[in-house]
Structure 1
Amino acid sequence: MNNILLYGPISDKVSGGYERMNDNILKSFYSNEEINIIAFPIKKVKLKGVIKSILYPLIFIMSIIEDSIKLISYRKKYKVNTIHITSLYKIFIIRELIIILLSKMIGIKVVFDIRAGRFIYYYNHKIYGHFCKVALKSADKVLVEGITYKEFLKKEGYDSIYFPNCIINGFNYYQNINKKRKNNRVKFIYVGRVVKEKGIEDAIKLLYEVKERFNIQLEFAIIGEVSSEYKEYISRTYNYAEEIIRFEGYKNLEEIKEYLLNSDFFMFLSTWLGEGHSNSINEVMATGTPIFYYDNGFTRDVIGNDDFMLDINNYEDNINKISEIIFNKEIRNKEKDRLKERVLNNFSQKNLVDILVNVYKI
């Protein structure tokens, strides 16, 4: 049995992209007869404000000591031979590098997995960049979530393996089900964190303008937890568009599937600097829901169709593109089939397992 430590953000209640992907890895190898994945979660800090600012440095140092002790214990207890580090980099690269170097000292091979965020920025950072480079040089294998990172690291002299976010079993049985329709409205949807950086306001402004100019009946369902402050801000600032906005709140995966199957388009106009390969995009693609998106993070590479890409700097072109696609049933149907095929061929659970089985043969 090949025992692998999975080190990084791990949670029983999956909340973010890191947790979701690590949860997918654990589930995908749960009954594997050759590879045993052992969860090695990093310490999470729930403190906020001034208290966090005061105590966090001490907590961070203690987490390094605790994780180092656990690593040595896991090595002895489970005869671990490989550690898979899902890197958070930023300041966390200090802790990750210590774990990498300690692993090498006690005979554990290292898989350094760069996931999402602003890795190139931190790689070029005058302080954190040094830690990033030593981590890359020390690792036995390097994984990257996006093609952009792979190309960047190649120029810097590092070999890497493309390991995108993948969707595990659960959406597959929706592949051959046709979209449901309850009325003649064009239904747009967003699922995820409801914050400004995810393009909620851009979507509202664009969709309202499309509705007004082209006399199209549409609605925009926003799914996800939203603070009362931000919801009130949206209602106050965009009160002219309140007839199209529907805040649906938090929904579980099964409920989200139903929403997607009853929707025509997904709006993903994220400008978040930490955007990578969104897990939500995989799930949307699996249900065949066409996605309007900005070229941010790895989204363009993941979706693979510029026909639905919007330009953050060209409001008028975006309005025209959305309206043209709404009226073009052939393009919509073609995109639905293409997305389903793309996610199954490139971002499925089989892809996840196949890649990691080869990676763990160090």
Structure 2
Amino acid sequence: MALTNKKIFFYGPVGGKNGKIVGGGESGNKKTIFILKKLGFQLFLIEKPYPIKVPFFNFFVYFIQLFFVYLKFFFKIFFNKALTKDKIYFHLSGFYGHLIYIEWLYIKTCSFLNIKCIYEIRAGGAIEIYLNSNFIYKFFFKSILINSTKILCQGFEYIGFVKSVANIDAVYYPNFILDQFVYSYNSLDRNNSSIIQMVYFGRIAPSKNVDFILDICNNISNNDFICEIIGEGTPDYVQYLNNRIQILGLEHKVFILPPKNSQELFEILPNKHFFLFPSIEKREGHSNSLTEAMNFGVVPISSYAGFNPSIIQDSNLLINEYNPVNYANKIISIWDSKMWEMYSFQCSNIVKNNYTESVIKSTLYSLY
């Protein structure tokens, strides 16, 4: 039954014109919007603008963009509140940091208008930024928490943080997989393989430590394996990686492939054994790639960056030091001890029990 008398104003990045900008934030927001519409809510999107590169005036132009979008939001939500009997809600996909002040303005406006608002803490840098910021930033961040009707946290690690800052019980709202893409688990074909199939997919960037993946592969070169690195990176960095592959003599074992769409990716993943994820990204949040890999029973061998520990839920699959030998030894140990299938089934179940549309939908529904 459509809840036609409930309107949700949603603010956040969704990809810009034609949806060309694609990242974890955009992907997560699009899924949230999809579910809210599916639940029958009327949804009005207020898209956070992206900076326009203007020589010498970047910051000024970006500020004008942000404020102009806010003014459009204010008049739209004000008149909806004043002229209709609809129940109005506001959902802000928050990225704090330098955006904290404009986000505060949105939340404070809704609080003033007596509109229920949801503040969603996304990405993985909230704690570090808060602890390393001055009292002004901390004041605005805490004010957002206090003036919001409900706080959603992308990372389980944020629950205690919100409690310590504002004595508020937040709700865990992780990234998730749409039900249509949830994999019906079957590992038998992969488990009988004589070749270890490894994969990384996502942004090909230094912060994702893709170069380190080559070092891992170089330390298991005595074993029969294939590693595919799938994604988009700058031409210079991709060329650097290809050169290193040649130098290390891995050209018949490691392959860099262009980005794949969801359908293509989901045809590749059921044949993979390990997802290599030695990220050193300072603001690593809940990686969509990590969840998607685990959905298909691909076992992650991961760093402790971001929310990886609470997502993977097994310290045996997490490596504390950035030592390629440790990563390689972990892969070989799991494979040679015939433990891969157990870990694979475990990972698939973690996703099905925690990170699917069906699980998350009830959380969203309860907020409105």
TM-score (norm 2): 0.89
- 1:157-206 per-residue CA deviation (whole Å, 9 max, x = no partner) reads 22211111111123225434755699743221111111011121111101
2:228 maps to which residue? 221
Separation of aligned partners in 1, 2:365 and 2:283 = 28
Separation of aligned partners in 2, 1:201 and 1:327 = 25
Separation of aligned partners in 1, 2:34 and 2:227 = 33
Q: Is the 8 A contact 1:188 1:218 kept in 2?
A: yes
| Equivalent residue letter for 2:201 | V
1:210 maps to which residue? 220
Percent identity of equivalent pairs: 25
Range 150-159 or range 346-355, more displaced: 150-159
Separation of aligned partners in 1, 2:216 and 2:55 = 36
Query: Which SS does the other structure have where 1:29 is aligned?
Result: helix
Cα–Cα, structure 1 residues 183 and 286, in superposed 2: closer, same or farther, change >3 Å? closer
Cα–Cα, structure 1 residues 7 and 74, in superposed 2: closer, same or farther, change >3 Å? farther
2:336 maps to which residue? 327
Separation of aligned partners in 1, 2:57 and 2:238 = 28
Separation of aligned partners in 2, 1:246 and 1:66 = 48
User: 1:162 aligned to 2:169?
Assistant: no
- 1:128-183 per-residue CA deviation (whole Å, 9 max, x = no partner) reads 22211111111111111112111122223222111111111232254347556997
1:15 maps to which residue? 22
Equivalent runs, 1:102-181 vs 2, <5 Å: 102-124=109-131, 125-126=133-134, 127-156=136-165, 157-176=167-186, 179=189
User: How far did 1:53 drift?
Assistant: 4.5
Separation of aligned partners in 2, 1:217 and 1:278 = 28
Cα–Cα, structure 1 residues 205 and 73, in superposed 2: closer, same or farther, change >3 Å? farther
User: 1:354 aligned to 2:358?
Assistant: no
Q: Is the 8 A contact 2:12 2:48 kept in 1?
A: yes
TM-score (norm 1): 0.90
Separation of aligned partners in 2, 1:288 and 1:222 = 18
User: 1:195 aligned to 2:202?
Assistant: no
User: 1:92 aligned to 2:99?
Assistant: yes
2:282 maps to which residue? 273
- 1:268-321 per-residue CA deviation (whole Å, 9 max, x = no partner) reads 111101111111111111111101100111011001111111223444433322
May I ask how many residue pairs the two structures share in their alignment? 355
Separation of aligned partners in 1, 2:62 and 2:14 = 20
User: 1:68 aligned to 2:47?
Assistant: no
User: 1:40 aligned to 2:49?
Assistant: no
Which structure 1 segments of 5+ residues have no match? none
Cα–Cα, structure 1 residues 181 and 342, in superposed 2: closer, same or farther, change >3 Å? closer
| Equivalent residue letter for 2:13 | P
